[in-house]
Chains A and B, each alone.
Chain A
Amino acid sequence: MTEPERGLAAASGTPEREGAYTGLADKARRYRSTLIAYGLVVVLFIIGSVHSPDFAEWANIRTLLVYGSFIGIIGFGQTLCILTGGIDLSVPWTLTGAAVLSSVLLKGSDANFPLVCLVVVGLAILVGLVNGIGVAYVGVPPIIMTLGMNGALQGLLLVYTNGGISSSPPQGFVNAVTDQILGIPVILLCWVAVAVIAVVLLSSTTFGRRLYAVGTNASAARLAGVRVRRVLLVPYVASALGASLAGLLLMGFTGQAFLTMGDPYLFTGAVAVAVGGTSILGGSGHYVGTIAGALILTLVSALLPLFWTSAAGVQIADGVILLGAVYAAGRRARQAGLGRRRRST
Chain B
Amino acid sequence: MSSGTAEKAVPPRASSLLGRLPIPGLSTLMPYFYVAALTVAILGVEPALIDGPGAVDVRFSAVFPLAIVAFAQTLNLFTRGIDLSIGGTISVVTAILAVSGGVKGPEAYLELLAMLALGTAIGAVNGLIIAYSGLQPFLVTLATWTIWDGIALAVLPVEGGTVPARATSLVLGSIVGVPKSVLCTAALFVLWAWLRHTRFVRDLRAMGSDAERARLIGVHSSVRTVQCYSFSGACAAIAGIWIAVQEASGSPTAGDEYILTSIAAVVIGGASIFGGTGSAAASMVGAVAYLMIPDLIAATNISSFWSVFLQGFLLIVAVTLSALAIRVRDRKALA
Contact = CB atoms under 8 A, between A and B. Distances in A.
Interface of A: 134, 138-141, 143-145, 147-156, 158-159, 162-163, 267, 271, 274, 280-281, 310-320, 322-323, 326-327, 330, 334-335, 338-339, 342-343
Nearest to B147: A319
Interface in B117-162: 129, 133-136, 138-140, 142-151, 153-154, 157
Given A312-B150, A312-B154, A342-B274, A147 B263 contact: yes
B308 interface: yes
A141 B142 CA distance: 19
Nearest to B330: A139
27 contacts: A138-B324, A139-B327, A141-B319, A147-B264, A149-B312, A152-B313, A155-B307, A155-B309, A156-B309, A158-B305, A163-B303, A271-B139, A311-B153, A312-B150, A315-B153, A316-B146, A316-B150, A318-B146, A319-B143, A320-B143, A320-B147, A326-B140, A327-B135, A335-B134, A338-B211, A342-B80, A342-B274
Contacts of A148: 264, 312-313, 315-316, 319
B212 interface: yes
B323 interface: yes
B266 to A, nearest CB: 10
A186 B193 CA distance: 60
Interface in B66-97: 80
Interface residues of B, number: 49
Contacts of B264: 147-148, 151
Contacts of B319: 140-141, 144-145, 148
Contacts of B272: 141
Nearest to B317: A148
A310 B157 CA distance: 10
B144 A319 contact: yes
Nearest to A275: B139
Nearest to B263: A147
**Among A150, A159, A315: residue with most chain B CB under 10 A:** A315
B306 interface: yes
B288 interface: no
Nearest to B261: A151
B229 to A, nearest CB: 15
B334 interface: no
**Among B134, B310, B326: residue with most chain A CB under 10 A:** B134
A147 B315 contact: yes
Contacts of A319: 143-148, 150
A201 B267 CA distance: 34
Interface of A is mostly: helix
Interface of B: 80, 129, 133-136, 138-140, 142-151, 153-154, 157, 211-212, 260, 263-264, 267, 272-274, 303, 305-313, 315-316, 319-320, 323-324, 326-327
Contacts, number: 150
Contacts of A163: 303, 305
B315 to A, nearest CB: 4
A334 B134 contact: yes
Contacts of B316: 134, 140, 145, 148-149, 152
A319 B147 CA distance: 5
A144 B273 contact: yes
B305 A330 contact: no
Given A151-B313, A323-B129, 17 more contacts: A138-B324, A143-B263, A144-B267, A152-B316, A154-B312, A162-B305, A280-B138, A310-B154, A315-B146, A315-B153, A319-B144, A319-B150, A322-B139, A330-B135, A330-B139, A342-B80, A342-B274
Contact of B308 (A154, A162, A335): A154
Contacts of B260: 147, 151
B142 A267 contact: yes
A323 B309 contact: no
A159 B154 contact: no
A71 to B, nearest CB: 15
Contacts of A326: 135, 139-140, 143
The 4 A-B pairs of least Cβ separation, nearest first, read A155-B309, A151-B312, A315-B150, A319-B146
Contacts of B144: 319, 323
B255 to A, nearest CB: 14
A33 B136 CA distance: 16
A314 B315 contact: no
**Among A155, A158, A159: residue with most chain B CB under 10 A:** A155
A314 B308 contact: no
A138 B322 CA distance: 10
A144 B273 CA distance: 9
A136 to B, nearest CB: 11
A89 B149 CA distance: 20
B258 to A, nearest CB: 14
A315 B155 CA distance: 13
Contacts of B157: 311-312
A194 B96 CA distance: 45
B318 to A, nearest CB: 9
B154 A274 contact: no
